Chains A and B, each alone.
Chain A
Amino acid sequence: MTAPTLVDFDDVVARFDPTLGLEVHVELSTNTKMFCGCPTEFGAEPNTQVCPTCLGLPGSLPVVNRTAVESAMRIGLALNCSIAPWGRFARKNYFYPDMPKNFQTSQYDEPIAVDGWLDVELDDGSTVRVGIERAHMEEDTGKSLHVGGATGRIHGAEYSLLDYNRAGVPLIEIVTKMIPGTGDRAPEVARAYVTQLRELVKSLGVSDVRMDQGSMRCDVNLSLSPKASGELGTRTETKNVNSLRSVERAVRYEMTRQAGVLDAGGEIVQETRHFEEQSGSTRAGRRKETSEDYRYFPEPDLVPIAPSPEWVEELRGTLPELPWERRRRIQAEWGVSDEEIRDLVNAGALDLVEATVAAGAPSGEARSWWVSYLSQQANTREQELTDLPITPEQVARVIALVGEGELTNKMGRQVVDGVLDGEGEPDQVVEKRGLKVVSDEGALITAVDEALASQPDVAEKIRGGKIQAAGAIVGAVMKATGGQADAKRVRELVVERCSAE
């Protein structure tokens, strides 16, 4: 096969209009699978999260997970879709060893959510409205491991090994309407859409949307039509686009590839292509001998789903603030710049800071603790910030102790260390580690007097009005109290004692 001729991107957009379409699969993080009571966690030993139903054993039957249905409806509502008042699951029939029943149970025909939109914000602040055709429920397949031949590749393998832990995990497929008119921004729009969709789904708490673990997967549909021709080109569907960056690259590559084919007088074949992460290119999948006919028919083992208007409204009431609106509100409340809020988001600290503020801390201190000291600790421990064993409430308590002068900043950090090391609540750490600012005035005055007496020349200078000389006395007092005194108060006392004499 000869390498495709790629046309320069600027040249492509000068002569062609791209039309985008995106299909995103989101794996729900429900406790159990779509149709059975097996766990959905990633990474378990093979075939240990299975039962007769998700293994497709003869006689087994599916029962729909209510939480999965509610998650699907909440995703639909967050995408401004209408919820279908009645719908059935269907069977999509095709043989494939990773699919235990050799049919996939899917709402393809009668999706639970239809006709919505998502406003996607681009880097320059402009907005593109992406139409949502539908969001529907289905089930994931098992995973295959190909042995022999090229490592892990299906081609040339001698045999395959199957693990059905993932089979039956609930999937929501979100399909956009065709997105025309994005021109040279098509790659950016595609990426921004997936980014924002990811954030939205995450904010609903229905999926961990980890593209690296496959809990969010994207297929990119793309076609080109000659400018002002008014006709829609033939589209290709690129699968395996499994990072945000890849989404952008896949769109860009298909645009340049398709333009090359068209320029050479060729025709675009409607086909499934696969994205190659390493080269950033796409390659054609195996051509099927016969066009696939999935012979959909209503799933007789499941009864229709008919969400009442009350149920829909109840779920609408559970929708959180949209993540980007929330960011805008927080930015205004805290008075921070675009850059600062972006840093917080990138550091994965926004939720933590907000929770810390909610627990009573000033936003400045909350941000500073999470972005600097706690981020450092996360780095050292090779943990995600969110996984650190300290709660926003505990951080807020440390901030309060420092603010009230009970602790110095340095002591505050020690308390945080104690909490991270499992020594208990901040107040317990203070107690156990004996971290208290010395605030007993009597003891302090004695210490100050002793320091003045041991450095009579310095004391003389202070009495003579040279207040800046007090530093040496303060230093001596701090040393004597093991650093536990409040330096500011010590300075006041030094000046007081000298003028009083």
Chain B
Amino acid sequence: MSADSPADPTGGVISRDEVAHLARLSRLAVTDAELDVFAGQLDVILSSVARVGEVAAEDIPPTSHAVPLQNVFRADERRPGLDQEQALSGAPASEDGRFRVPRILGEEQ
């Protein structure tokens, strides 16, 4: 196994804290009870999928697309889109033609 192999020799692949961190990154306000269940389940799943590391594949190119296409473009021509009413039709809240959302923390990227 390579040095960066995900399998932790002490047993568990993923800790409860790590699951909590991942849930935060994924914007999931999981409960403590859920964390307990998920941590165990994810550990089992990860231990199983870690099998991918058994295959020697250094020289194998990765496949990101299942279809051998490239250079698929569209002409720079307008297509009818949605009007404002349609655009906002599913919005939980809107105001002055805009989507109304709770206050945004932090800076624009």
Contacts and interface: CB of A to CB of B under 8 A. Distances in A.
Contacts of B71: 303-307
B107 A160 contact: no
Contacts of B82: 50-52, 55
B65 A304 contact: yes
Q: Report, as a range, how many residues of chain B touch the other chain.
A: 35 or more
A48 interface: yes
Contact of B84 (A47, A67, A293, A303): A47
A245 interface: no
Given A67-B76, A161-B99, A164-B87, A303 B69 contact: yes
Given A48-B83, A293-B25, 5 more contacts: A39-B78, A47-B97, A144-B108, A288-B106, A300-B64
Interface of B is mostly: loop
A239 B106 CA distance: 14
Interface of B: 21, 24-25, 27, 64-65, 67, 69-84, 87-88, 90, 95-109
Contacts of B106: 154, 285-286, 288
A64 interface: yes
A45 to B, nearest CB: 6
B109 to A, nearest CB: 6
**B69, B75, B80 pick with most chain A CB within 10 angstroms:** B75
A96 B108 contact: yes
A63 B73 contact: yes
B109 A96 contact: yes
B76 A65 contact: yes
Given A31-B76, A37-B74, A69-B73, A303 B107 contact: no
Contacts of B73: 63-66, 69
Interface of A: 30-32, 36-39, 45-52, 54-55, 57, 63-69, 86, 88, 94-99, 104, 141, 144-146, 148, 154, 157-164, 239, 272, 274, 285-286, 288, 290, 293, 297-298, 300, 302-307
Contacts of B24: 290
A30 B74 CA distance: 12
A66 to B, nearest CB: 4
Contacts of A288: 106
Contact of B81 (A51, A88, A307): A51
Contacts of A274: 107
16 contacts: A32-B77, A32-B78, A37-B80, A38-B78, A46-B96, A50-B82, A50-B87, A54-B81, A64-B74, A65-B76, A66-B74, A96-B104, A96-B109, A99-B109, A154-B104, A159-B102
B76 to A, nearest CB: 4
Nearest to B108: A98
A26 B13 CA distance: 44
Contact of A38 (B25, B81, B90): B81
B84 A286 contact: no
Nearest to B76: A67
A268 to B, nearest CB: 19
A34 to B, nearest CB: 10
A52 B72 CA distance: 20
Closest 7 CB pairs of A and B: A37-B79, A51-B81, A67-B76, A66-B73, A161-B98, A298-B64, A162-B99
